[in-house]
Structure 1
Amino acid sequence: MQPHINLPAPYMPHAGLIAAFEVCPLIAIMRGVTPADAADHGQALYEAGFRIVEVPLNSPQPFDSIAAIRKVLPADAIVGAGTVLHPLFVNDVKSAGGELIVMPHSDPEVVIAAKAQGLACAPGVATPTEAFIALKNGADVLKMFPAEQLGCQVVKAWRAVIAAQVPLVPVGGITPDNMGPFLSAGANGFGLGSALYKPGQSAAVTASHAKAFINGLRIARAGAKK
């Protein structure tokens, strides 16, 4: 049997992350959420259909928020940290109950540390070189960041050389109305920031935005199949 020529190493993604991603390939980025509000927003997202939530580490007391969300969500949800810039934070995320490390960059030390702890990892990549190195180090999904700069044509070009089983996840500037062209180009899911959640908004607003994204994904998928 010939190896996959577009995979630099055996691709064995985190089963829990992939299962959650298959249910809903939208990653909620809760930048700025506080521990007092985290659980309510996490529940609102889950009830709307989301299954993956990240709390960026430049939020107030992020590990407490991760723990609060993990405590209230069912086991089929994946909770983790974003903006993880140093491998030392991986242990803190795991201790808080996190299962996912999301990064704006592709520092091999962070990816390797995450995988060594049994956590899923979504490094940020902006070039094919970064993408293949991240996969070699054990990345589960590729966070294409910033999506506004890369655009759909880059997604299409990457999809031609990156194995189909590796999820491509554009992040940055994604709204309920602009997912269709990315899906048509070969993207598999999206990371959602300020269009989904802004610090200080109510859980009801988060629920409304989440439902709009779920509906937008449904429409985008229907359009991409035509």
Structure 2
Amino acid sequence: MSLPSLPPFRSRVVPVVVVADVAQAVPMARALLAGGIDVIEITLRSSAGLAAIEAVARAVPGMHVGAGTVTRASEVRQVLDAGAAFGLSPGATPALLEAVRAEGLPFVPGVASPSEAMAARDAGFTLLKCFPAAQLGGIEVLKAWAGPLPELRFCPTGGISLANLAQFLALPNVAMAGGSWLTPAAALQAGDWARVEQLAREASALANATPA
């Protein structure tokens, strides 16, 4: 059985967000969308995560909302019920991948080594989250993986910023990159949506200027 595909979002930059207050979710998503980013990873690292996913899925139809930090099989049904269009994880376990397949959730499992990438590939996944990217070796490790694993593409996350975004996106095996710099906690807390929109515009412009 083939795995479901990710939604057709345009952005090659994926904001990774920990939402502390569900009231922040919708205006934040609208600000990102206004800045040219049509995809978001709302993590399950806070108690507001599921409610934030549900709020964005309902109120911002132009935003493709993904559930991040999905680490348990039991969470797969929860994020689907909340309205997540896809899921991401910092890693992968057989139980988690089995649940993803059974529930039909488009999914990006995380890997930190060639062996993990090969295991995910053998389970049917060809887009993988390289995490934590910078700590693993960043651009150089992704270049090294490209040789023996040419069929795989990656979404590096962890240590990505505007300063190195273009270098990551220029790699042939990088489909997109995730980062938390687009939604600073201080801006979310202050409701500074203009700041979030500006950061999204900067990232979008840089990504659009970088050949895929």
Correspondent of 1:177 among 163, 183, 208: 163
Q: Which amino acid aligns with 1:66?
A: I
Specify the alignment match of 2:201 in structure 1: 211
How many residues are treated as equivalent by the alignment? Answer: 206
* 1:153-192 aligned within 5 A: 153-164=140-151, 166-186=152-172, 187-192=174-179
| SS of 1:15 mapped into structure 2 | coil
Correspondent of 1:127 among 110, 113, 118: 113
| SS of 2:67 mapped into structure 1 | strand
> Using a 3 Å threshold, how does the CA distance of structure 1 residues 167 and 14 change in structure 2: closer, same or farther?
farther
Report how far residue 184 of structure 1 moved: 3.5
Specify the alignment match of 1:14 in structure 2: 4
Unaligned 5+ segments in structure 1 are: 1-9
Unaligned 5+ segments in structure 2 are: none
Correspondent of 1:105 among 91, 96, 119: 91
Report how far residue 190 of structure 1 moved: 0.2
> Using a 3 Å threshold, how does the CA distance of structure 1 residues 36 and 85 change in structure 2: closer, same or farther?
same
> How far apart in 1 are the matches of 2:6 and 2:138?
29
Specify the alignment match of 1:116 in structure 2: 102
Specify the alignment match of 1:82 in structure 2: 68
> Using a 3 Å threshold, how does the CA distance of structure 1 residues 113 and 40 change in structure 2: closer, same or farther?
same
> How far apart in 2 are the matches of 1:184 and 1:101?
24
Specify the alignment match of 1:139 in structure 2: 125
> Using a 3 Å threshold, how does the CA distance of structure 1 residues 13 and 182 change in structure 2: closer, same or farther?
farther
Report how far residue 89 of structure 1 moved: 0.8
8 Å CA contact 1:57–1:82 kept in 2: the answer is yes
> How far apart in 1 are the matches of 2:154 and 2:15?
16
> How far apart in 1 are the matches of 2:183 and 2:32?
10
Q: Give the TM-score taking structure 2 as reference length.
A: 0.87
Report how far residue 216 of structure 1 moved: 2.1
> How far apart in 2 are the matches of 1:188 and 1:16?
12
Q: Which amino acid aligns with 2:19?
A: G
> How far apart in 2 are the matches of 1:36 and 1:180?
32
Q: Which amino acid aligns with 2:208?
A: R
Identity among equivalent pairs (%): 29
Report how far residue 185 of structure 1 moved: 3.3
Q: Give the TM-score taking structure 1 as reference length.
A: 0.82
Q: Which runs of 4+ in 1 moved over 4 A?
A: none
Residue 56 (1) aligns with residue 13 (2): no
Residue 29 (1) aligns with residue 16 (2): yes
Q: Which amino acid aligns with 1:62?
A: G
Q: Which amino acid aligns with 1:189?
A: M
8 Å CA contact 1:105–1:124 kept in 2: the answer is yes
Report how far residue 91 of structure 1 moved: 0.8
